[in-house]
Amino acid sequence: MRLLVGLGNPGARYARTRHNIGFMAVDEIVRRHGFGPWRARFQGKCAEGTVAGEKILALKPETWMNHSGRAVGEAVRFFKIEPAQVIVLHDEIDLAAGKIRFKIGGGNAGHNGLRDIDAHIGRDYARVRLGVGHPGVADDVHDHVLDEFSKADMAWVTPLVAAVAEAFPLLAGDDGARFLTRVALILNPPPPKPPHPRATDDDAPKDT
């Protein structure tokens, strides 16, 4: 089993904020891959499904962002899941808006949700970092991540979330590199090859 965690804050007030892009991505994965209904469990909302032959438990903690580790830790202990089987999707201000990165382990870069997860299960879990951009001034970060995406923002948020969901089977299959490649190709498909010129009667071989 893999534990798929989206980070965010509960409630309609925060549903479209930058801090909640992890929730948005997990919602789309659950919808696209036909998971079961959301149920209250592990201090959050859970839905179960199977992707690429792997049983997946999707979890959206409702403990508020700064205490995300409570929900994650509870699920990990209940199912006896190793941290390596946990995938966390979260917002990343140190990435340009619309960019995506994948890594296993490492620091939390000041992200309070990751910091709390580290405290409960350690650092050896996978992270999908979804870029939401930096406001440019450190004092503005708090308001920036709690601001709603604008209509213009949704022009890149919606395709990014959809691409993550479409490519998720590769991530479920433990292939982070191919997952990133697939997302990139979905978002920026190569231009179509020009058609081959059609043969004409003038091109046909002639008898000599």
Instruction: Report, as residue numbers or ranges, the catalytic residues.
Output: 19
Burial class (CB in 10 A: 0-12, 13-18, 19+), 139: exposed
- How does DSSP classify residue 15? T
In whole angstroms, give the CA distance from residue 113 to residue 136.
Answer: 21
Element (H, E) at 74: helix 68-79
| Chain centroid to CA 124 | 17
In whole angstroms, give the CA distance from residue 160 to residue 150.
Answer: 15
Burial class (CB in 10 A: 0-12, 13-18, 19+), 28: buried
- How does DSSP classify residue 148? B
